């Protein structure tokens, strides 16, 4: 066998070396290698299971962009797809109780592997971790914009009025799925990802928009 | 005893910090004062002493010490090793951080199973020994500047993978490392967040770990730091010494080039 094909071996060697000259080392597919690394590095722990590593289109695109703006067409498409997920409140009422909303805004719990349940009732809104909200709370984060006087600054005097409707619906959409209006928003998609239920979202809405809320004083 | 003492001190200082805030001093100033007071007598020294003894003590099925362990600068060389990790090791064919390297050395030299140690909960058994060892080894590079090697293709590959892991958004909240550590001057509540996409400064971010945590009385290595980051990120559980943790170490360590290490530092 060996003796019959010396030329073949030489030819293969030549082709390989020529190909090697034309294209030095094959480029590493880093995106595929990253997926492989993520898959092999994590395991389930409690409620935090490895299926969480699966990215939807928005998370995949924004990860890949590494903080840079998305191409315009992609941004528009992602925002449109996320806008379709926004569900307005079933009874048409947007505002609940701002006092309960304040407690929810203070609560940073939920969805980690040390939390017992994925039920919305176990989750907080995490709001103060990233936003200034009421003036009284000085321990607030700065990753997101200040929401102090959120409703007042937008001229909301009666949240139930037709004049307030656009800002009320916009705010509901932000809480439900922030990527509907900002493709690579860093804010969790509270409604879309079933982190908070309708009643909880209404209470946060009241914290932001009720003229009686301390946020709007 | 040390834990009780330090918890008490922390509570007292936290209370005085509240007074400081009430006196209209900025919260950042209050926290800086608190940290300065804490740094005067860092209990991490107790872990360093234990770690040095562990390094030199014959242990394990092979009844050997770790003194022949090559941390990257030759067998037994401890000083200067920490500020060049993670790096590539020819004997394992892997890029390794300090903790995954210690797993290898402990298995090879002492016969202590790396898999068993990796599966042990933080703070217990061999993991408690690991805390002491990383305190000792990091302290031996105190004040030195980070300078991770990138000459090996595997080291450069891990940097690229670490960068992608850093920006990898997923999970219930869609968070990535970059959600909190991708910009300068941000906070969660009052906690300032280092920008880990660049060198955030001497003794900040990557250059501040391992660290003694006053709140829990524990010494956390980088593996535990990353583990708790991923918990708060709402991700599943990263394996101890898994590739993603090492890739992130390479990314943060290369970005921190020139930063002085203050490890083991002290944290609230």
CATH number for the domain spanning A119: value is 1.10.760.10
Task: Tell me whether residue A8 is in a domain.
Answer: no
Confidence of residue A11 (pLDDT cuts 50, 70, 90): very low
Catalytic residue status for B229:
yes
pLDDT tens profile A190-214: 999 999 999 999 999 999 999 999 9
Cα separation values, A206 from A125, B158, B230, Å: 14, 47, 32
- Nearest 5°: the CA angle B195, B196, B202 is 85
Q: H/E/C letters for each residue in chain A?
A: CHHHCHHHHHHHHHHHHHHHHHCCCCCCCHHHHHHHHHHHHEECECCECHHHHCCCHHHHHHHHHCCCCCCHHHHHHHHHHHHCCCCCCCCCCCCCCHHHHHHHHHCCCCCCCCCCCCCHHHCCCCHHHHCCCCCCCCCCCCCCCCCCCHHHHCCCCCCCCHHHHHHHHHHHHHHHCHHHCCCCCCCCCCCCCCCCCHHHHHHHHHHHHCCCCHHHC
| Count of domains forming chain A | 1
Mean pLDDT of B193-211: 97
Helix residue spans in chain B (DSSP H): 2-22, 27-39, 44-56, 98-105, 114-119, 125-139, 153-166, 177-181, 222-232, 243-255
Contact call for A53 and B185, based on CB within 8 A: no
Residue B209: predicted pLDDT = 97
- Residue B5: which pLDDT band, with cuts at 50, 70 and 90? very low
* Interface residue B181 vs chain A (CB under 8 A): no
Chain B residue numbers touching A70 (CB-CB < 8 A): none
CATH 1.10.760.10 fits B43-268, yes or no: yes
**Angle between helical axes of A198-209 and A165-176 (0-180°, round to 10):** 130
**Residues 37 through 56 of chain A touching chain B, CB cutoff 8 Å:** 37-38, 40-45, 48-50, 52-55
Please tell me what DSSP assigns to residue B168.
-
CB nearest B161 (choices: A33, A63, A195): A33
Residue A4's pLDDT is: 47
Q: Does a structural domain hold residue A48?
A: no
Distance from CA of B45 to the nearest CA of A (A): 30
Which of A52, A63, A188 minimises the CB distance to B167?
A63
Query: What does the alpha-carbon distance between residue A181 and residue A204 come to, in Å, rounded to a whole number?
Result: 19
Give the model's pLDDT for residue B29: 76
In-domain check, residue A196: yes
Q: Does A14 fall in a domain?
A: no
Q: Which residues in chain A are contacts of B161 at CB distance < 8 A?
A: 30, 33-34, 37
Angle in degrees, CA B103, B104, B110, rounded to 5: 85
Q: What is the helix (H) or strand (E) element at residue B218, kind and residue range? A: strand B218-220
Between the alpha carbon of residue B239 and those of residues A115, B119, B235, the distances in Å are 19, 8, 12
Task: Report yes or no on A43 lying in a domain.
Answer: no
The terminus-to-terminus CA distance of chain B in angstroms comes to 18
Mean pLDDT computed over every residue of chain A:
92
Using the predicted structure, report yes or no on whether residue B19 has a pLDDT greater than 70: no
Structural domain contains residue A210: yes
Residue A10 lies in a domain: no
Tell me B93's DSSP state. Answer: T
Is any Cβ of chain A less than 8 angstroms from the Cβ of B25? no
Smallest Cβ–Cβ distance between B188 and the set A49, A65, A129 belongs to A129
In which domain, by residue range, is A198 found? 98-216
The pTM for the full model equals 0.89
Model ipTM over 0.85: yes
The pLDDT value recorded for residue A23 is 63
**Is a pLDDT exceeding 70 seen at residue A17?**
no
**Domain-embedded: residue A187:** yes
């Amino acid at each position: 066998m060996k003796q019959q094909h010396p030329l073949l071996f030489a030819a293969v060697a030549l082709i390989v070396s020529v190909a090697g000259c034309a294209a030095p080392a094959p480029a590493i597919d880093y995106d595929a290698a990253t997926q492989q690394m993520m898959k092999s590095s994590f395991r389930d722990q409690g409620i935090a299971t490895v299926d969480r590593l699966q990215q939807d289109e928005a998370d995949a695109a924004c990860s890949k962009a590494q903080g840079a703006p998305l191409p315009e067409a992609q941004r528009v498409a992602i925002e449109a797809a996320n806008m379709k997920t926004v569900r307005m409140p079933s009874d048409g009422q947007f505002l609940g109780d701002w006092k309960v909303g304040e407690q929810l805004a203070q609560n940073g719990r939920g969805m980690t592997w040390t939390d017992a349940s994925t039920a919305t009732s176990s989750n907080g809104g995490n709001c103060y971790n990233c936003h200034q909200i009421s003036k009284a709370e000085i321990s607030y984060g700065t990753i997101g914009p200040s929401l102090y006087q959120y409703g007042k600054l937008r001229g909301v005097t009666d949240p139930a009025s037709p004049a307030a409707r656009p800002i009320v619906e916009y705010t509901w959409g932000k809480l439900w799925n922030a990527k509907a209006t900002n493709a690579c928003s860093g804010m969790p998609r509270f409604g879309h990802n079933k982190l908070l239920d309708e009643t909880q979202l209404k209470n946060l809405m009241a914290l932001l928009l009720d003229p009686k809320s301390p946020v709007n004083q | 005893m040390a834990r009780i003492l330090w918890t008490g001190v922390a509570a007292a200082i936290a209370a005085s910090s509240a007074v400081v805030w009430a006196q209209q001093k900025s919260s950042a100033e209050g926290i800086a004062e608190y940290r300065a007071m804490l740094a005067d007598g860092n209990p991490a020294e107790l872990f360093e002493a234990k770690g040095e003894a562990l390094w030199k003590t014959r242990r394990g099925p092979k009844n050997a010490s770790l003194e022949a362990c090559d941390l990257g600068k030759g067998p037994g060389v401890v000083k200067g090793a920490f500020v060049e990790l993670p790096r590539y090791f020819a004997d394992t064919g892997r890029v390794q951080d300090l903790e995954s390297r210690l797993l290898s050395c402990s298995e090879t030299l002492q016969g202590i199973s790396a898999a068993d140690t990796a599966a042990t909960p933080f703070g217990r058994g061999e993991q408690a020994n690991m805390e002491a060892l990383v305190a000792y080894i990091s302290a031996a590079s105190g004040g030195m500047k980070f300078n991770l090697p990138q000459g090996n293709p595997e080291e450069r590959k891990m940097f690229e993978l670490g960068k992608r892991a850093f920006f990898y958004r997923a999970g219930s909240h869609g968070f990535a490392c970059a959600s909190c550590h991708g910009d300068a001057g941000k906070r969660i509540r009052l906690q300032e967040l280092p920008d880990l996409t660049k060198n955030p400064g001497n003794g900040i971010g990557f250059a501040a770990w391992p660290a003694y945590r006053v709140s829990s009385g524990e010494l956390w290595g980088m593996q535990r730091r990353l583990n708790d980051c991923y918990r708060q990120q709402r991700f599943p559980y990263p394996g101890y010494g898994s590739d993603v943790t090492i890739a992130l170490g390479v990314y943060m360590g290369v970005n921190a080039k020139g930063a002085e290490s203050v490890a083991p530092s002290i944290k609230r």
